[in-house]
Amino acid sequence: MKNTVVIVGAGLSGLIAAQKLAKLGIRTIVLEQGEDVGGRMATCRIGGGLADYGCQFFTARSPEFIALVEKWRNAGMVFVWSHGWSDGSLKRTLPDGHPRYAVRGGMQALVQYLARDVDDIRTGFNIQRISLRGDHWLLEPEMGEPMVAYHLLLTPPAPVSLRLLDAGGVTLSDEDRTALARIQYIPSLTAMFVVDGAVNLPEPGAIQRKDEDFAWIADNYSKGISSRHVVTLQANGRYSQQHFDDDEASIIATFTDVLKPYLAKGAAVQEVQLVRWRYALPVVTSPESYLKAQDVPPLYFAGDAFGGRGRVEGAVLSGLAAARALGQR
Ligand SMILES: Cc1cc2nc3c(=O)[nH]c(=O)nc-3n(C[C@H](O)[C@H](O)[C@H](O)COP(=O)(O)OP(=O)(O)OC[C@H]3O[C@@H](n4cnc5c(N)ncnc54)[C@H](O)[C@@H]3O)c2cc1C
């Protein structure tokens, strides 16, 4: 146990770190509150179709990530969905040169693919509290036995990790606490609509309007992951913040009105599901690609809020950087 790295979170950063550590010959245990791996790379079955309801696509800009994405493409996991999006007006969309990647079988499938290289993933392990016990950490789940960790990597959104440490009475250095407390996320209200009939969205099946309340509308059928039309509609951060706690019926009614102009004649909504992501995208990030806490037994923080890039690329590069640092110990 003393040489094992315990990783909290089976999202992209946690599992890429676990995969890297496995390659370095280091044993890991990954603890995840959910019933499956994926985190914000989230895909679900709905109405007989499939929908991505967290991350929608990703880009690759750094040489390291571009090389990794190429590997995933060669493995048949990832494909280029588009080179740019329509804003929904009649203006022609000009490709901007950056491929937007998506995952065959939905975004979650990429994390499931990484999980194949990781031996010990324990799902349903919902940590409530992390405390310091001499030379090790104690992680207490909602149900079941606590877990001891001599080397700990935390990958939940930073406000969640801080809450778990606060609940266990852990005192971090002022510098570390300040760096973590600075990190901020915007929420996302996301709805999935199962549509009986056709959906009129421009090729390749999505509209992005960054400055408008309803910033993203995409058809998972046109995306190529669903056997029937399931539309994912996401409000931007500002709108999601303002309406985060509104009652479900009123949110769904507003979202349905936004969707209506995109339904073909005779098409109707069969089923709707709303998801409230409290921590969707980091807007204030840490410039360091991971954080190692000072003056305590090995405790590292990684995830999309580290390294200044945010998003999928940031999560992957942060997980890899933290794994390399842990590997050197
Ligand atoms: C609505 C939405 C849209 C997005 N769109 C895009 C996009 O188009 N392009 C893009 O690049 N990125 C997008 N993103 C962001 C992208 O999904 C994330 O940057 C990336 O998936 C983050 O990975 P991560 O491993 O850092 O965090 P996460 O995926 O959040 O992983 C953290 C894991 O920790 C687990 N966890 C948390 N608390 C506990 C606990 N107490 N006990 C045990 N486990 C715990 C969580 O369940 C989760 O699995 C979007 C995200 C959302 C939500």
Residues of the chain with CATH 3.50.50.60: 5-35+123-183+285-328
pLDDT tens, the chain, 329 aa long: 788 999 999 999 999 999 999 999 999 999 999 999 999 999 999 999 999 999 999 999 999 999 999 999 999 999 999 998 888 775 666 667 789 999 999 999 999 999 999 999 999 999 999 999 999 999 999 999 999 999 999 999 999 999 999 999 999 999 999 999 999 999 999 999 999 999 999 989 999 998 899 999 999 999 999 999 999 999 999 999 999 999 999 999 999 999 999 999 999 999 999 999 999 999 999 999 999 999 999 999 999 999 988 999 999 999 999 999 999 87
CA of 39 to the centre of ligand 1 (A): 5
Q: How many CA atoms lie within 13 A of 259 on its CB side?
A: 29
Burial 168-187 (b: 16+ CB within 10 A, else e): bebebeeebbebbeebebbb
Q: Amino acid identity, residue 2?
A: K
Q: Is 208 in the pocket of ligand 1 (CB under 6 A)?
A: no
DSSP three-state, residue 240: helix
Residues of the chain with CATH 3.90.660.10: 46-107+185-282
In this structure, what token pair is assigned to residue 189?
């209200």
In this structure, what token pair is assigned to residue 146?
């606590």
pTM of the complete model: 0.97
| 5-35+123-183+285-328 to CATH, choices 3.50.50.60, 3.40.50.2030, 3.40.50.720, 3.40.50.1000 | 3.50.50.60
From atom 53 of ligand 1, which residue's Cα is the shortest distance away?
280
- In contact, 5 and 151? CB cutoff 8 Å: yes
Q: Is 280 in the pocket of ligand 1 (CB under 6 A)?
A: yes
What is the CATH code for 46-107+185-282? 3.90.660.10
Distance from C-alpha of 272 to C-alpha of 237, rounded to nearest angstrom: 21
Q: Amino acid identity, residue 63?
A: P
- In contact, 68 and 91? CB cutoff 8 Å: no
- Mutation to probe ligand 1, out of 13, 33, 40, 240 (largest number of atoms < 8 A from CB): 40
Q: Amino acid identity, residue 35?
A: E
